[in-house]
Amino acid sequence: MTEVPFAPALREHLGVPPTGSRPLRLAIIGGGSAYTPGLVEGLLRLEARLPVGRLALMDVDEAKLQTVGGLVGRRLQASGHGMELLLTTCRREALEGADFVLCQIRVGGLAGRSLDEKVALRHRVIGQETTGPGGFAMGLRTIPVMLEVAADAARYAPGAWIINYSNPTGLVANALYRSGYERVLSLCDIPMAMQQGLATLLDIPRREIFLDYAGLNHLACATRVMCRGKDLLPSLTALARSVVASGAKLPVSLADQREEKEFGHILQLMATTGLYCSPYLHYYLHGAEVLDEMLASPTTRADEVMALERELLEAFSGSATGEDLSRHRGYDWHADAMMEVVAAMAGHEGGLHVVNVPNRGNLPSVPLAHMVEVNAVVDQSGAHPLQAPALPPLMRGLVSAVAAYEELAVEAALEGSYHKACLALTAHPLVPSANIARRLCDDYLAAHRDFLPQFRR
């Protein structure tokens, strides 16, 4: 098609930015994470749609950064990709001139996660990374640092988009939005993992499955599962009830034991609710059994992850190129969830993704402006959420309660309010009493004192 002669001048007059003018500059904050090699694999898979000229990996842990960065460098060299790779412990250096800032930080490291889980279990409350008291403690530590990252990005990379998947995603997204940062898109790989689990079960491409999905981060469900024009949810529910009632093994083997266990939880939840739920609902609907299992276990999930990280970092150090290491933990959908969103925001074609956005009436049972996790069209101008399905009563009640908890927890983190911190834990469905909430709050503030400057006064 021949371009209209005055089109370039009109674009300039209207302020339409040019496209395809130069390769992109990406910064990954938390670049020493064991997830980073998987992200780079995803970037390479999308090279045609996502041309990157500079990749900056920034981390406060220099030893991990050098190990992971060394593997990434060898992988890029083996692939023949000519992008510039920068490894730095200086956030400003990583951010300067970036087009996209990907955040995967863990304030306090895995040792902090271990404390989060063990403090909760000491009070006979579920100890989990993002759900319940553990997620609360992680949010108090993470929100101040994410606000610093956002402020630095606005200063050193004006116009850049922040893609956040630092946990707890919902609390972080709410805090950033309430603090005035709008060029932020928060997402989670759970919805894509749910798609992938079904695709594996049915032996079809993941893109052929659409989940009519809505709720909060780690507290959402699909009320329809569409595939080739048909809603599969009724027949999937019948299958789930049959599998659960018979105690049979899953009809398919998934990538790893953890993934298979989570999909087993999804089947159990489907048999109970008739909905295709996030596996995190397992903590709410089968909480007593989960707590008994955690209390009986000699190790926490954090202990297992720390051992796995040591194994991975050792493998990263000894690998020539690391081509297969990202698959070791089943990271394919994690990388694709992040990089496909970046590609949609950087390229000419939008895409449909499940993301966290401020509620504009898209989910009526949640307060306006509170972050909700829904389907949205993502393109160069951001995320444009679709109207979400009405939540059934069971989900509506849980989502309303957790939204109230999130509101109080974010206010506590932003204000350094001990009173609101105790109220937040009291409001959470997994915390059994106000007295236990106060004790949990006291223990977390003492355990993480060095990471909670807003509470020192």
Q: Give CA–CA dist 290/403, Å, rounded.
A: 22
CB-CB contact of 152 with 91 (8 Å) = yes
What long-range pairs does 416-420 form, CB within 8 A, spacing at least 24?
A: 416/452, 416/454, 416/455, 416/456, 416/457, 418/445, 418/455
For residue 419, the tally of other CB atoms under 10 A from its CB is 12
H helix and E strand count, the chain: 17, 13
- 3-class DSSP string for 184-209: EEECCCHHHHHHHHHHHHHCCCHHHE
User: Which residues on adjacent β-strands are paired with residue 382?
Assistant: 379
Backbone angles phi, psi at 29, to 5 degrees: -90, 120
Bond from prior residue into 453 cis (ω within 30 degrees of 0): no
Helices 169-178 and 133-156, axial angle in degrees (round to 10): 50
User: Which residues on adjacent β-strands are paired with residue 372?
Assistant: 357
Token reading at 256? 């790893």
- 3-class DSSP string for 281-305: HHHHHCHHHHHHHHHHCCCCHHHHH
Clarify whether 405 is annotated catalytic: no
Q: Which of 280, 331, 405, 444 is catalytic?
A: 280
Active site residues: 280
